[in-house]
Amino acid sequence: MAAIDKVKVIVVGDSGVGKSSLVQLICHGQTISNPSWTVGCSVEMKLHEYREGTQNQKTYFVELWDVGGSSSHRNTRSVFYNPTHGIILVHDLTNRKSEQNLQKWLAEVLNKEGNSKYKNHTFDDFDPEQFVGSTQIPILVIGTKVDMLEASRAHAQRRSATIAEECAADEIAVDNTEVRSLAAGSSSAVKLSRFFDKVIERRHHGRDSISPYVDRNNLSGRRPFSSPLSNPMSPLSTLSPLSGYSAYSAYSFKSAHNE
């Protein structure tokens, strides 16, 4: 059986916004009734059909790296950001502050990933509009807990529009407790699939397949994507050929507290 190529997507946002529940919903199509805090990083994988239904359809693995949002671990999270092929920014639709902090999360990933363009920038002087362009990494903004809003879904999406518009990114609003939030054929599912296609396109089908964070004037700085998950002897997990995805726990140290 031919090896299946993969891409790495970072999932970031404030602690408690529902990242772990979201990743569970995306990868397994299941909800978590009692999620726990993520300390470090929890990695899960799903199969994605790139350009499904076309002559170019191909199966890829998508690694979703759910990074713990605690501010006390800010200085140790950089190990999870390099490389990054796509970013999912997650916020709580009932918590305006978590949306405002998405700019800080984006700046943190770009700074730590090693891109000299953003190196040493502070959160205050980081401008998401500088990030816009076809050569940049794909971004998806997801607002969670839409079920807890008294206002309409349309209003929820308007609240989350700022960071998405600045980054020229798609955005969706989901209820992590409802599987139908990402039901096949729904607007949210279509946008999610389109996002994964963009990540794969940039990583594996670009003109030169150079990582979006590599300085094209300094190709000696290129580094291949060497994920610990690619090592079959890695303690992270044993991939199940039957399920098409697996959950990894070596980076996931969960407490007994709810997220």
Q: How many domains does the chain have?
A: 1
Mean pLDDT within 96-114: 86
Look up residue 256 and give its two tokens.
């007994």
- Residue 89 falls inside a structural domain: yes
Q: How much is the pTM?
A: 0.75
- Residue 244 falls inside a structural domain: no
48, pLDDT greater than 70:
yes
251, pLDDT greater than 70:
no
Report which secondary-structure segment, H or E, holds 90.
strand 86-92
195, pLDDT greater than 60:
yes
Domain range for 48 is 6-114+133-150+160-205
- Residue 213 falls inside a structural domain: no
Cα of 85 vs its chain's centroid, Å: 9
Identify the CATH number of the domain in which residue 13 sits. Answer: 3.40.50.300
- Residue 75 falls inside a structural domain: yes
Q: 36, 253 in Cβ contact below 8 A?
A: no
Dmax over CA atoms of the chain, in Å, equals 53
- Residue 212 falls inside a structural domain: no
180, pLDDT greater than 70:
yes
Q: What DSSP designation does 213 have?
A: T
Cα of 119 vs its chain's centroid, Å: 21
Mean pLDDT within 162-185: 91
Quote the pLDDT of residue 12.
97
Q: Is pLDDT larger for residue 92 or for residue 207? A: 92
246, pLDDT greater than 50:
no
Percentage of the chain exceeding pLDDT 90 = 53
Quote the pLDDT of residue 187.
96
Q: Is pLDDT larger for residue 215 or for residue 143? A: 143
25, pLDDT greater than 60:
yes
243, pLDDT greater than 50:
no
47, pLDDT greater than 90:
yes
Quote the pLDDT of residue 229.
47
- Residue 19 falls inside a structural domain: yes
Quote the pLDDT of residue 113.
54
Question: Which residues touch 184 (CB under 8 Å, ≥6 apart)?
Answer: none
